[in-house]
Amino acid sequence: MSGINFPVNKQIWLRFIDVVKAFITSNVGGRAIWLSAALIALLLGVNGFNVVNSYVGRDFMSAIAERNQSAFAWKAILYIGVFAASTIVAVLHRYAEDSLGILFREWLTKHLTNAYLDGRTYYRLKVDGVVENPDERIADDVKTYTITTLSIILMLLNASVTVIAFSSVLWTISPSLFFIAISYALLGSIFAIKLGRPLVGLNSNQLDKEADFRATLIHIRSNAESIALSRREGRLKARLLHRIDALASNMRQIFIVNRNLNFFSTGYFNLIQVIPILVVAPLFFRSEVEFGVVTQSAMAFAQLVGAFSLIVSQFQPITSFTAVLSRLNHLWEAIDHPQSANDSTIEIIETDEKHITYENLTLRSSENGRLLLNNLSLSIPHGTRLLITGPNEDAKLALFRATASIYGRGEGKIIRPSLDSIRFLPQRAYLYPGTLRELLMRSGEEHTISDERMVNTMRELGLGSILSRVGDLDVEQDWESILSLGEEQILAFTRLVLAAPQFAFLDRVYTAMSPDQASQLLLMLSMHSITYIALDEATNMPQLYDAILEIKLDGSWTLKKN
């Protein structure tokens, strides 16, 4: 059966311990410790009331058996009082558990989100392809991880307290019943593990299959207009139906394992109600114990066996948790230890000098190792406008990405200013939902440039109509749905002009513009002392460049001064 040998090793559990330790020592650790202390105190209270309830219930049932009305009335009041107090403690216990759970989830989600976005990890994971659906792991898996971690810890604590509290109760009733309880729980746990072990891998597979299905639905929603115009519904429908079949097939396997496990666990817990009565009833028949002891033994036996039978009672959530634990560990490993499959020896050197230099730079295809660019040695000083052209589109794009430190297959040296001094504009501008101010300025820099300058720059670049449409710099919009492709690119140029970097790399950004618009934008970059390096055709405005670098299909190159 698929997924039976899903790896759960020592390293995964060590990582689990490290995460819990990091949470306790974090900036929210003090609050977490206080909530944990409250949880433990309330847990002791819940178990204390359970023990008291067993004795009060015993006397209550004995009063009924003896037809003692005065004792019955008093015990009934006491019984109700114990139930009321235990209810209050149980509710407060659950509230404290929920509060600690959301604190843990908030901390861990922020921790993983920061790690995912720092150092372009999100891009590296996509290129390496070693982790499926990292977004789903950060969102849904972290939720399951934090909630279940807390639940398991509390279950273990509760089981420990229950064992201590009810072992003495059951021992005083019948030592043999005590040993029967332990043996019964041990055998039940062994059978539960044997029957339910395949759930670990199956649950992990199900999470990925659900995420794949959801990702396709999101893709359709995000590209609704393009799909409608191209009439690609048939292929997407087939893809969705295939993914539905895959997740349903895996779910059926989960149902089969759960069915077998439920057959066993249902019978297992039903017998718990019978076994103590079979042992204690003969003592009652011989008048060695009161009738209330029979009901007390049933309660104590159920509590003790339940405490020893966590694997049986909680096997399904434990297997789901184990799958989530392994999936998150896989994500952590990918974040902490980048893959070295690209065999890159490209050296990136950042300098304060205003030039971009390539020394003996060779680039190869990340897919098959094919030579893209051979031994490029070139220095581009600030002020030298360069056009990169030629039939080798893969080489041009690889050079664009290597300069941005997101392409690593090859060797040689790239000497450039820090990325704060260089901007990279892809062929399709990236515009996320937000305000105009947020689009035009980086995070934390929204108020470093006056509103007047932002507005004037937009009007200068021909975007005054956008301001008329949205009305304000702080109005949030889904820009991709209201802007044309040309407007999107001009807005990206506006952001570039306001940032005023030393260099700008432009990847075929003029495809959605007229030649006059493109010329005006390049001239404006020059006016603002922004040196542009563009990937484009040689026939497109060569007069606006100081040099032309042509990369041929075999990886060779030539440089011509204009």
Q: Is the pLDDT of residue 1 over 50?
A: no
At residue 416, the pLDDT reads 93
State whether 278 and 361 are in the same domain. Answer: no
Identify the CA nearest to 374 among candidates 350, 398, 407, 401.
Answer: 398
Decide: residue 230, CB within 10 A, 0-12 exposed, 13-18 middle, 19+ buried: exposed
Distance CA 47, CA 162 (A): 6
User: Residue 520 has which token pair?
Assistant: 């005006």
* 3-state secondary structure string across 417-433: CCHHHEEEECCCCCCCC
Whether the per-residue pLDDT at 3 is higher than 50: the answer is no
CATH code of the domain covering residue 533: 3.40.50.300
Structure tokens at 459: 């009007």
Mean pLDDT of the chain, nearest integer: 82
Residue 405 region by backbone torsions, left for phi larger than 0, else alpha for psi between -120 and 50, else beta: left
Q: Is residue 103 very low, low, confident or very high in pLDDT (cuts 50, 70, 90)? A: very high
Q: Which two tokens stand for residue 136?
A: 């789903």
532 forms bridges with which residues in the sheet? 504
Between 121-135, 230-244, 338-352, 362-376, the lowest mean confidence (pLDDT) is in 338-352
Same domain, 400 and 293: no
Whether 293 has a pLDDT exceeding 80, the answer reads no
Domain shared by 329 and 355, yes or no: no
The verdict on 420 and 323 lying in the same domain is no
* Alpha-carbon distance values, 200 to 195, 253, 312, 324 (Å): 12, 12, 15, 9
Whether 535 maps to a domain, the answer reads yes
Q: Specify whether 304 is located in the same domain as 359.
A: no
- Domain co-membership, 263 together with 398: no
The predicted model gives 138-153 an average pLDDT of: 82
Length of the chain: 562
Residue 40 identity: I
Q: Does any domain span residue 461?
A: no
Tell me, yes or no, whether 353 and 234 share the same domain. Answer: no
Number of domains in the chain: 2
Which of 305, 336, 367 terminates a domain? The answer is 336
Q: What is the CATH number of the domain that holds 161?
A: 1.20.1560.10
Is 478 within the bounds of a domain? no
399-403, 426-430, 529-533: the lowest-pLDDT one: 426-430
Are residue 123 and residue 212 in the same domain, yes or no?
yes
| CA distance readout (Å), 534 to 184, 188, 197, 357, 504 | 75, 70, 57, 16, 8
Give the per-residue pLDDT at 5.
42
Contact assessment for residue 525 and residue 504, using Cβ atoms and an 8 Å cutoff:
yes
Do 272 and 407 lie in one domain? The reply is no
**pTM, rounded to two decimals:** 0.66
User: For residues 114 and 102, is the Cβ–Cβ distance under 8 A?
Assistant: no
Closest CA to 159 of 325, 326, 312, 319: 312
pLDDT grade for 514, boundaries at 50, 70 and 90? confident
Of 280, 303, 336, the residue at which a domain comes to its end is 336
Q: Which of 110-124, 337-351, 502-516 has the lowest mean pLDDT?
A: 337-351
> Do residues 189 and 55 share a domain?
yes
CB 289 within 8 A of CB 280: yes
Q: Has residue 4 been placed in a domain?
A: no
Least confident of 379-383, 487-491, 509-513: 509-513
Residues 175 and 166: their CA atoms lie apart, in Å, by 12
β-partners of residue 558 are 550
Name the token pair of 120: 């372009």
Structure confidence at residue 415 (pLDDT): 93
End-to-end CA distance of the chain: 67
Domain shared by 328 and 360, yes or no: no
Residue of higher predicted confidence among 72 and 355: 355
Show which of 336, 354, 372 is a domain's final residue. 336
Are residues 303 and 389 both part of a single domain? Answer: no
| pLDDT for residue 4 | 38
Q: Is residue 371 within 8 Å of 436, Cβ to Cβ? A: no
- Give the residue with greater pLDDT, 538 vs 71: 71
Beta strands in 474-529 (DSSP E): 476-477, 503-507
Q: How far is CA 422 from the centre of its chain?
A: 31
pLDDT at 382: 93
Average pLDDT over residues 101-106: 90
Give the Å distances, CA to CA, from 199 to 203, 260, 356, 382.
Answer: 6, 12, 55, 61
Alpha helices in 286-352 (DSSP H): 291-308, 310-313, 315-336
Per-residue pLDDT at 558: 92
**What gap in Å lies between CA 560 and CA 380, rounded to an integer?**
13
What domain range includes position 395?
345-431+483-561
Domain assignment present for residue 254? The answer is yes
Contacts of 147 (CB under 8 A, 6+ apart): 101, 105
